[in-house]
Structure 1
Amino acid sequence: MSTPRTAGTTNSTGKPTIWYLSLRSPYSWLAIRLAQKRWPELWADAELRVFFEPGEAMATEVAERRIDFPYVAMSRAKHLYILRDVRRIAGGLGLTPTWPVERDPQWDVPSLAVVAALRADAVSGRELALDLTAARWERGEDILDRAVVADSARRAGLDPALADAVDDPQVRAWGGEALEQVQRHGVFGVPMIVVGREPYWGVDRLPLAAAAHEKAEPPPVEDYLGSAVREPDLGGGDHAGGCG
């Protein structure tokens, strides 16, 4: 597992690299795993920020800050496509996705835990985000359960009380700031990686984001329009877009 350098400040362009992730999105999970394998510097250097759908706990902050969260329910056809697409890409990475079923999900609980953890320590916050992502998509755990969040915090070397971060007015204020950043950067889905002022959305744009981060020549267009995973052992031929 890559250890972050000075996140967001040490890439070769001299410009910050910001990585918007979501605990809800399978594409966010796949982008992390793919970057860890193919572009570890991009993942290690990036400053992590959380893209999450505000729930009941964040109602006051959303209203006061006039936040318009850019998320709409997907169609049944898109949902069925994503099930196939994620399974294909995950298989190419040697992963098997789990598909938890949530009823009336409140994403504030795990997301604000990550927001608070990143505020306290970028390295431990990153570990919490990774563990919660793996818990949801690889271990089939219910990360909306505070007990699960507390277990992830322990594994990340953090206070399990982070599971109750949603109850802290200061953390909710930080969550409001995080959502304002989402709005300011025009983030409409994940993964979204912003290098300097240039945004790159979707798993298939990872090669371009990595090149921009390292100030390298962009890859051939077929490497990112055809597939982000062209090596035979990564299941070449699949194409993934962002999914928030």
Structure 2
Amino acid sequence: MRQRPRLYFAFRSPYSWMALRRLEERLPEARDLIEYRPYWEPDRRTMDELTLTGAEFHYTPMSKAKHLYLLADIKRLAHRLGYSMAWPIDIDPQWDLPHLAWLYARRLGADREFYAAVTAARWERGENICDPDVLGRAATSAGLDATRTLAAADDPEVRTEGVRILNEAYHEDIFGIPYFKLGFQRFWGLDRLDHFIEALHAWSARTNQDPSGGSATPSRPEPRPTDTRLTGIPSAVLGAGGYDRDSAGGCG
């Protein structure tokens, strides 16, 4: 396996926020070992650019019933983990803005600081991170120029990078957040974090991987598993559309 372990995150998702926070509490070197990638619902401009690459967007907006469950679930999980949070209210959010800004921050080596500032604004203070004023303050606290950070959404190079990441996410079958990828092994959701960490430790021991990303001993590629996602589902059910087409939950 030549590809670094990957995780896909979203500022929108409370599950992503808790999973990454928990990951870094348990594995302080996570950001040195794992490639972080943003995954977000693109606006019309980005969606048009993504479509031109031949890709789509797998994520499906959740139903009202699932959203109501999520509200209670997140409150329960945050209490169990000892995290204090304030639930933000999103009104016509433009998710390109904070995620493309994060890509800009990464180019300047300030992605950790910017991520911390944005998640604190959203999940600790309940602020609207798609508001330019809020995002500008987060950029400033991360040591970035607020005006240039906000302009990242219109920067051709940053936008190209963002579309490329969403294109690769589509071809990697990323459908929800948080999503962890280690070779052909995939782990979706906060409740699979322990499984990912266990696999990561095994991979690290097998490859003598150090936190800087170096590898003393190359690993043997793992066989790609057979796709069994629809195994056991009666064809009559599939043909009639009698199964849940909504996102399966856990991505917020």
- Taking the aligned partners of 1:14 and 1:93, their CA distance within structure 2 comes to 34
Pairing partner for 2:177 from 186, 190, 194: 190
Count of residue correspondences: 208
Q: How does 1:53-202 map to 2 (within 5 A)?
A: 53-121=41-109, 124-160=110-146, 161-202=148-189
Give the unaligned 5+ runs of structure 2.
Answer: 205-248
What is the alpha-carbon distance in structure 2 between the residues aligned to residue 38 and residue 102 of structure 1? 30
Write the distance in 1 (CA, Å) between the matches of 2:105 and 2:165: 13
2:184 maps to a residue whose letter is R
Q: CA RMSD in A?
A: 2.2
Looking at structure 2, the residues matched to 86 and 167 of structure 1 have their Cα atoms a distance apart, in angstroms, of 33
Contact map agreement 1:110 1:144 (CA 8 A) in 2:
yes
Q: Distance in 2 between matches of 1:93 and 1:43?
A: 21
- The residue aligned with 1:204 is 191
Shift >4 Å, 4+ stretches: none
- Report the Cα distance in structure 1 between the residues aligned to 2:102 and 2:161, rounded to whole angstroms: 11
In the TM superposition, what whole-angstrom CA distance separates every residue of 1:163-192 from its partner, at most 9, and x where no partner exists? 121111221111101101211221111111
Give 1:126 shift.
2.5
Deviation at residue 76 of structure 1 after TM alignment: 1.6
Match of 1:243 in 2: 251
Distance 1:141 1:91 in 2: 20
| 1:79-105 Cα deviation digits (max 9, x unpaired) | 111111100111122223222222221
**C-alpha distance in 1, partners of 2:107/2:37?**
10
What whole-Å deviation, never above 9, does each CA across 1:38-86 have from its counterpart, x for those lacking one? 3334455211100011003314412321321112121122111111110
Output the amino acid matched with 2:196. Answer: A
Q: Which has the larger radius of gyration?
A: 2
Q: 1: CA distance between counterparts of 2:99 and 2:78?
A: 23
Contact map agreement 1:132 1:149 (CA 8 A) in 2: yes
CA separation of 1:116/1:86 partners in 2, compared to 1, >3 Å: closer, same or farther? same
User: Once the 2 structures are TM-superposed, how far is the Cα of residue 33 of structure 1 from its aligned partner?
Assistant: 1.8
Percent identity at matched positions? 41
